[in-house]
Amino acid sequence: MPRCFWCTDDPLYQAYHDEEWGVPQRDARHLFEMLLLEGAQAGLSWITVLKKRERYRQVLHGFDPERLARLSDEEIEALMQDPGIIRNRLKLKAVRQNAQAWLKLEDPVTLLWSFVGGAPKINHFSDRSLMPAVTPEAEAMSKALKKLGFTFVGPTICYAFMQATGMVMDHTTDCDRYAQLKGS
């Protein structure tokens, strides 16, 4: 199966590419999870986060925003000792801060999807050199989320989030998933 340029031969990466990346997601819990994971990825490769995803789900209470909003400093310090996740104090504090900000949103799903007009933006990139790292929509999302109290939501993170959750479909035209998702 022809895949996007970034997908390696790692079976976990291939499953993520083939089953999840670029598929429109409207489940609030999943969107929250992906927003936190994209923030955790900052400065690292996505495969690093992907390999730690199950441990994150365990130690971050299934990405329950209500529980994460109440994380104590002691719990964050305990998480700093867990080799199964990325041990970065700022990123772990961002989990709590972003959960608190998330809970203040009336309708987070509608808000997040509003940056692409409520429907997936289907791109038609034939080559990775054409694919941007940031778009005006991602910049607008980043600015709005920061204003709402979120952190680790820069424009590059927001664009990766939009790609991952199918708000934008960036499978390249030579990838099998492009044909499958271009009509979603």
Q: Which of 13, 21, 33, 38 is catalytic?
A: 38
- 175 annotated to a ligand binding site: yes
User: What are the beta bridge partners of residue 169?
Assistant: 122
Q: Would residue 38 show up in a list of annotated catalytic residues for this protein? A: yes
Q: Are 44 and 162 in contact (CB under 8 A)?
A: no
Q: For residue 57, what are the contacts with CB-CB under 8 A and spacing of at least 6?
A: 33, 63
Tell me if 4 is assigned to a ligand binding site.
yes
Q: Which of 20, 46, 75, 139 is catalytic?
A: 46
CA pair distance 135, 92, nearest whole angstrom:
27
> Within 10 A of 143 (CB to CB), how many other CB atoms are there?
14
- Please name the helix (run of DSSP H) or strand (run of DSSP E) that holds residue 25, with its range, or none: none
Residue 171 assigned to a binding site? yes
6, 16, 75, 139: the catalytic one is 16
**Letter for the amino acid at 138?**
A
Annotated active-site residue 102? The verdict is no
Q: Which residues are annotated as a binding site for Zn(2+)?
A: 4, 17, 171, 175
Question: Which residues are part of the catalytic machinery?
Answer: 16, 38, 46
Q: Which residues are annotated as a binding site?
A: 4, 17, 171, 175
